[in-house]
Structure 1
Amino acid sequence: MTDDETAGLIEAGRLLFAGSADFYAAAQTLDRLPPMEGIEIAFAGRSNVGKSSLINALTGRNTLARVSHTPGRTQQLNFFRIGDRMSLVDMPGYGYAAVEKAKVEAWTHLIHSYLKGRANLARVFVLIDSRHGLKSIDTDVLDGLDKAAVSYQVVLTKADALKKSQIESRLAGIREALAKRPAAYPEVILTSSRDDSGVADLRAAVARLLAERGA
């Protein structure tokens, strides 16, 4: 991709998220899912990975997604309409053992059913804490996405906590792990919601995806 093409995507991403961004639906069960309208992208990740903070940074709104220091707080699929071109879905964080087993099972069923049955879901952005890299619970999620043939892309969060040499090593390890996965998009995005680094790249990735889907 040329520099001009990259700059064009970054500007397209900025414009995409510069417009309105509004919460419009929440679902704790399949029958509460809103009708499928337009393109959807979803954000998934372990509890406390920084998902809500990154969604807020992406949209330029401090309180669009509720940020909590208590893991497991997001207990439903939250839908946000981004302008008139797409919807963003904030998924429940996974892997928080202190939540009741029955609740975890209900979330898991909801998430898997959503992923398999949502025909307008264009991509899942899977957030990974850059300090820890891929954990077994992350690879379980990636296995499920591969099995369901749902396109996904890894986004590393909290990159400000790593030194440059650590970042390069982490990126290399993640890329190697993704190389053999059929549903994985090869580009890994490095972000930090604290200093907004990588946020423009993530916006550009969404803009590129919409362009590829003709949205």
Structure 2
Amino acid sequence: MPAGGLSEARTPEERAALIEAGRLLFARPCTFFYAAQRIDQLPPTGLPEVAFCGRSNVGKSSLVNALTGQKALARVSHTPGRTRQLNFFNLGDRLTLVDMPGYGYAQASKSVKADWQGLMFDFLRGRPTLRRVFLLLDARIETKAGDRAAMELLNDAAVGFQIVLTKADGAKPFWLRKRQEEAEALARAHTAGHPLVIATSSETGLGIPELRAEIAALAA
């Protein structure tokens, strides 16, 4: 089974093995265990970590819930910008999932936005157990300036990131193909970008097995 994930799978058998590893990993219990609003509140490093970041209301919480098969593990808020802390989840004592604060909420004050960006950068730069950040982009709309800024921040922090398109069920096929191509080009334009872009839907389950497989390849 290729350790690098689906992008390095050379045969249908290798791909199937990765998909199964992802299924088995996410069949394990996943529980919330810590929250931090400041960098000095972070829990000690331990298990490998993967983080999820994206614009407010991009569907981060829904995606985490879909991955883990739990409807309410991550709080789904109807008020964008509500999550202002790093939330940590233990996945079967194999991996830690980190739900990062959303960015780009128009009604958030400048000081709050600055605090979020500072927390994100400090976490990214100083977390040796962080294996990858999954950067979520809404498949239905164009890439925003905040998304591009997040890519630059990740690149500057020298943290590998992989683009995940969310809410793909709400995008027309031609638009989804366009978004996929655009996201792949954006990933190639950054040294920290991962080449494989995964389109997902928390509603239909599209791309969930593939994303689980990618995450499983990063687990201990």
TM-score tier by shorter-chain length is over 0.9
Asked whether the 8 Å contact 2:34–2:43 carries over to 1, the reply is yes
What's the CA shift for 1:104? 2.0
1:94 and 2:103 are equivalent in the alignment: yes
* TM-score normalised over the length of structure 1: 0.95
What's the CA shift for 1:180? 2.0
For 2:37 and 2:160, locate their aligned partners in 1 and report how far apart those are by CA, in whole Å.
23
User: Partner of 1:152 in structure 2?
Assistant: 161
When the two structures are aligned, how many residues end up with a matched partner?
Answer: 211
1:203 and 2:212 are equivalent in the alignment: yes
For 2:95 and 2:203, locate their aligned partners in 1 and report how far apart those are by CA, in whole Å.
25
Secondary structure of the equivalent of 1:167? helix
Candidates 66, 75, 80, aligned match of 1:57? 66
1:188 and 2:187 are equivalent in the alignment: no
- 1:33-64: per-residue Cα shift (whole Å, max 9, x none)? 00000100000000000000000000000000
1:5 and 2:14 are equivalent in the alignment: yes
What's the CA shift for 1:172? 1.1
**Matched AA of 2:107:** A
Structure 1: stretches of 5+ with no match in the other structure: none
* TM-score normalised over the length of structure 2: 0.93
Secondary structure of the equivalent of 1:153? strand
1:176 and 2:176 are equivalent in the alignment: no
User: Partner of 1:19 in structure 2?
Assistant: 28
For 1:76 and 1:138, locate their aligned partners in 2 and report how far apart those are by CA, in whole Å.
19
Asked whether the 8 Å contact 1:133–1:174 carries over to 2, the reply is no
Secondary structure of the equivalent of 1:81? strand
User: Partner of 1:137 in structure 2?
Assistant: 146
Candidates 146, 164, 179, aligned match of 2:173? 164
Asked whether the 8 Å contact 1:115–1:150 carries over to 2, the reply is yes
Q: Calculate percent identity across the aligned residue pairs.
A: 52
1:31 and 2:30 are equivalent in the alignment: no
What's the CA shift for 1:175? 1.1
| Structure 1 residue ranges (4+ consecutive) displaced by more than 4 angstroms after TM superposition | none
Candidates 46, 52, 55, aligned match of 2:55? 46
1:111 and 2:84 are equivalent in the alignment: no
What's the CA shift for 1:136? 1.2
**Matched AA of 1:28:** Q
User: Partner of 1:66 in structure 2?
Assistant: 75
Asked whether the 8 Å contact 1:153–1:184 carries over to 2, the reply is yes
What's the CA shift for 1:73? 1.0
User: What do you get for the CA RMSD once the two structures are aligned?
Assistant: 0.9
**Of 41-50 and 143-152, the range deviating more from structure 2:** 143-152
Asked whether the 8 Å contact 2:52–2:134 carries over to 1, the reply is yes
Asked whether the 8 Å contact 1:49–1:127 carries over to 2, the reply is yes
